[in-house]
Chain A
Amino acid sequence: MDKEAVKKPAKAPLLVVSKRDALPLGKRILIRAAALVSAIIICALMILIVGKANPFLVFAAMFRGFFINILPSIYSVAILLGISLAVTPAFKMKFWNIGAEGQALVGALVTAVIMIVLGGKLPDPVVTVIMLLGAVIAGMLWGIIPAFFKAYWKTNETLFTLMMNYIAIEGVNLLLEVCGGPSHVVGRSLLEHGRMALFNEPYIIPIAVAAILAVVMFFYLKQSKQGYEISVVGESENTAKYIGINVKKVVIRTMAISGAICGLIGFMIVGGVDYGITTTTIGGRGFTAIMVSWLSKFNPFIMILTSFMIVFLEKGANSAASKFSLIDTNFSNVLIGIILFFLIGCEFFLEYKIHFGRSSKEVQK
């Protein structure tokens, strides 16, 4: 019998993709670093061609822009980090909460409302405490509502939380219309009482809170029983049921935590630094946070680096924009986009390997 007559698949694929074994940490970092470097090269080319500027000078300006006024920059990192930490438990549970924007914004909204309504009527510290509580509860509610429907009826949480963002935004608009006077501004003059401050330095508290949150979240996810339950539910709902975890309870509880942290961040922005509120108070960081959390593999300490990188690009581009005529503030989003695309894309090469042509099995014969 002519065994060679047994033809192999007629159209053997040119590239064969297969799952690879775990790569050592060094290699994983190397692949990501390579992606980052490639992204930076593309960014540099964009600066050169579209922005008609010397990329090195632009990068230098970006560094200066970020570090020259270091405290506000670190504060921005802290806020982004805070929201990233907030979304992390939910994502670990594979609950696609893209509503952090709204959860933080209702926190901010409730903070502002309490400042307006109770400010001057109660001692300032009491107002501050009520602001904090109100913001946290509001954020929590914004998180629990979609979680409840997801847990009981499997309502699509991605779209639900997305819609909740816009309800929060219109809520802020309502505040601006009702309390903002003819110019529709709710700013310092209205938000006078209950401001949270330490040593007259607004940035210290948010930075400290974010730092503490990062540590707490790290231990919550890695060392607590609840964090363990989140991992099990996220990995396999079947296993969770097998060992008797109440999946519905975990889903709702986790989103309550996510929302509460978002509310806390909203409180700190309005009550601690901005003393004012607009529909862009969160400014898309609720969405950026998702990327931060996901790219950091849900590790709070890596999130610090990732948030840092993104804020660096934002702040840096803003500062470069003032020096280079063809670079403007929007350029940061282009750079962030390119870098994130590369980092997202390189995940593939961590999980899979590609080899050319026919599989090695043939060689055995």
Chain B
Amino acid sequence: MSFANIIFYAIQFGTTLLFGATGEIITEKSGNLNLGIPGIMYGGAIGGVVGGFIYQSGGNVNPILSVIICILSSLVGSLLMSLIYCFLTVTLRANQNVTGLTLTIFGNGLANYLGATLVKRVGGQTATSLNITETSNIFSASLPFAKDLGWFGKIFLSYSFMAYLAIAIALVAAIVLKKTRVGLQLRAVGENPATADAAGINVTKYKYFATCIGGMIAGLGGLYHALVYIQTWTADVIGDCGWLAIAIVIFTVWKPDLCIPGAYLFGGLFILYDHLNLPFMTGTWRPIIKMLPYVVTIIVLIVVSFRKKRETQPPASLGLPYFREER
């Protein structure tokens, strides 16, 4: 197994995490700790898969149309999920953790259920996965000449367009957060909603928009994972990617640009055991390597709380509901 291959697989897996983590960062910047992100990723995945499958079943697949339909239906799926979270936590002031965990249960269940129903309708009672090869191939396609460029092509050019989309979204998110008024105001809402409110910023609107946009980005991660990484729909297709994405948010101290290397690093740690056959890393010790991302995240969490450096702290009002005191 060459070094280039490891990088390739790390990025291929890391892309799912990059979508998820970028989405969660945008959400958390508004002060919403959305533990429903795994559920939302399922929502995005199943939305896209259902849309793609329906389109593909009609025959005459136009690649561009297929991509558009998949992405749009994925966005609808994750948007609906995010709206449930927003309505409960922002409008009805419900507890964020309880709502988020419920959303994860619900999203996972709903996606699995719809997926299984689709699988059964197509393949009969015994089928376990869905044939979405055509759509999946379109999504997985990389530049045709990437193969001819050796390791360079493998590392830089051989991914689905969605991998580049993830990088672009993360970079745009970083720039928006750092350089624009919208970013400034969003950060203000997450840091100190009362001050933001006093400055005339519509806190509710920002929370809704950030959570929904963040959720939709994470949903794309779900879509990518099903169509490009796994390349089919099976039960529990996303696995633990949602939680891993939340870990990356902490690991990269709430910075979307740092997320890019962070997600690839986590991705690498996660797939290393599958693709690396070194004598000291025989199968038995795989779980230790898989444990690493979580251990590292905890260490980052602890170090951050020790150092109390203000730039690396979570948004100050993360997890807390906000409502203006009645006068």
Contacts and interface: CB of A to CB of B under 8 A. Distances in A.
Direct touching of A and B (C-beta under 8 Å) = yes
Interface of A: 17-19, 50, 96, 98, 149, 153-156, 158-160, 162-167, 170-171, 173-174, 177-178, 284, 287-288, 290-291, 294-295, 325-326, 328, 330-334, 336-338, 340-341, 344-345, 347-348, 351-352
Interface in B246-299: 246-247, 250, 283-288, 290-291, 294-295, 297-298
Given A284-B105, A330-B235, A160 B301 contact: yes
Interface string B104-145: 111111101110110010000100000000000000000000
Contacts of B112: 328, 330, 333
A291 B246 CA distance: 20
Given A166-B294, A334-B113, A158 B97 contact: yes
B147 to A, nearest CB: 35
A347 B105 contact: no
Nearest to A153: B305
Interface residues of B, number: 55
Contacts of B3: none
A244 to B, nearest CB: 26
B230 interface: no
Given A170-B291, A328-B116, A333-B110, A288 B105 contact: yes
A351 B105 CA distance: 26
B117 A326 contact: yes
A344 B102 contact: yes
A162 B242 CA distance: 12
Given A153-B302, A167-B294, A174-B287, A294 B110 contact: no
B287 A334 contact: no
A268 to B, nearest CB: 23
Contact of B104 (A159, A164, A287, A294): A287
B1 interface: no
B311 interface: no
Contacts of B64: none
Contacts of A338: 106
B294 A345 contact: no
Interface of B: 33, 35, 84, 87-88, 92-95, 97-99, 101-110, 112-114, 116-117, 120, 125, 235, 240, 243, 246-247, 250, 283-288, 290-291, 294-295, 297-298, 301-302, 305-306, 314, 319, 323, 326
Q: Of residues B95, B113, B314, which shows the largest number of chain A Cβ atoms within 10 Å of its Cβ?
A: B113
A198 B125 CA distance: 40
Contacts of A351: 93
B99 A98 contact: no
The 5 closest A-B pairs by CB, nearest first: A333-B109, A337-B106, A330-B112, A173-B287, A155-B305
A166 B305 contact: no
B287 A177 contact: yes
B163 to A, nearest CB: 25
A164 B286 contact: no
A170 B287 contact: yes
B250 A177 contact: no
Nearest to B292: A170
Contact of B305 (A154, A326, A337, A341): A154
A328 B113 contact: yes
6 contacts: A159-B247, A166-B291, A177-B287, A328-B120, A330-B112, A333-B113
Contacts of B297: 159, 163
B98 A149 contact: no
Contacts of A177: 283-287
Contact of B109 (A50, A295, A325, A331): A331
B94 A347 contact: yes
Contacts of A295: 98
A149 B305 contact: yes
A166 B108 contact: no
B326 A330 contact: no
A337 B288 contact: no
Nearest to A102: B294
A96 B98 CA distance: 10
